[in-house]
Amino acid sequence: MDSKLITFFTSIQPISDEEINAIDQTMAVTHFKKGDILLKENQLSSNTYFILDGIVRQYKLIEGEEKTKDFFCQGEWILLTNNITNSFSDCYLQCCVDCTLVVGNSEKGEHLYKQYPNLGSIALKLMNNIFIQQQAKHDTYITDSPELRYLKLIKTNPDLFQQIPQYQIASYIGVTPESLSRIRKRILKK
C-alpha cells in the first residue's frame, strides 16, 4: 500500500503491521484520467477514495449548469453522505487531472473494522474530522464574502489555480466567472 495512505492513518492513530497488511488487501490503488467520472448523480456506490495524487471535483447539475461543491486534493479522503447512508448520490465526482487514488469499499471496510477494532476507531475519527471540515466549509458560505472565500482558497489550495479552470473556481466560491475576474482585479490592486 502507498505510504501516503499509511502516513495518513498513522497521523490519526498508530496502526500495526498486521493492520497495514489488512488495509493493503482491502483497498486498491487505481489510476484515472483527467475527465473520468468516479460517481454520477443518482448512482449507488459504496466506494470511497483517498487521493494519492491529483484533484477530484464534486459538483451538482442545477438546471443544466454545473455547480462545484468541493475540490479534493492530494492527501484527502473523499467520503460522501451517500457512502454512509447507502443512498443514491446527489452529485458527480470527476477527476480534474490525471489521478492516482486508493479505492476503498464501505462493505469491505465494515468487515475490516470488525476484525481490527483499532481501524474502526480510526474510521470513526476520520469521519468526525471530515464532518468538521465540511461544516467549516459550509459555514464560510454563510459568513464569508466571495472575496474572502477566494482568499482562503488561495491560502489553503494554491495549486488549484494552476490546474483548475477559472469558471469552476468561480462556481465553487459562488460567483460568476465575470465576478471572479473583478474580485481578482480588486485583490491585485490592494
For 40-66, the pLDDT digits (tens) are: 999 988 788 989 999 999 999 999 899
Q: Is 12 exposed, middle or buried (0-12, 13-18, 19+ CB in 10 A)?
A: middle
Please tell me the predicted confidence (pLDDT) of residue 2: 56
Q: 0.75 cut: is pTM over it?
A: yes
Query: Which domain covers residue 32, as residue numbers?
Result: 1-118
Instruction: Calculate the CA 149 to chain-centre distance.
Output: 17
**Whether residues 44 and 109 fall in one domain:** yes
Please tell me the predicted confidence (pLDDT) of residue 77: 87
**Whether residues 27 and 105 fall in one domain:** yes
Please tell me the predicted confidence (pLDDT) of residue 123: 85
**Whether residues 107 and 59 fall in one domain:** yes
Tell whether 74 is covered by a domain: yes
Tell whether 38 is covered by a domain: yes
**Whether residues 111 and 148 fall in one domain:** no
**Whether residues 4 and 89 fall in one domain:** yes
Tell whether 189 is covered by a domain: yes
DSSP, res 66: E
**Whether residues 158 and 69 fall in one domain:** no
**Whether residues 65 and 146 fall in one domain:** no
Please tell me the predicted confidence (pLDDT) of residue 33: 98
> Please, how many CA atoms are within 13 Å of residue 160, restricted to the half-sphere of its CB?
24
Q: How far apart are CA 33 and CA 143, in angstroms?
A: 36
Looking at the 3D structure of the chain, how many domains does it have?
2
**Whether residues 104 and 10 fall in one domain:** yes
Tell whether 106 is covered by a domain: yes
Tell whether 127 is covered by a domain: no
The x, y and z cell numbers of residue 190, run together, are 490592494
Please tell me the predicted confidence (pLDDT) of residue 1: 52
**Whether residues 162 and 89 fall in one domain:** no
Residues lower than pLDDT 70 in the chain: 1-2, 83-84
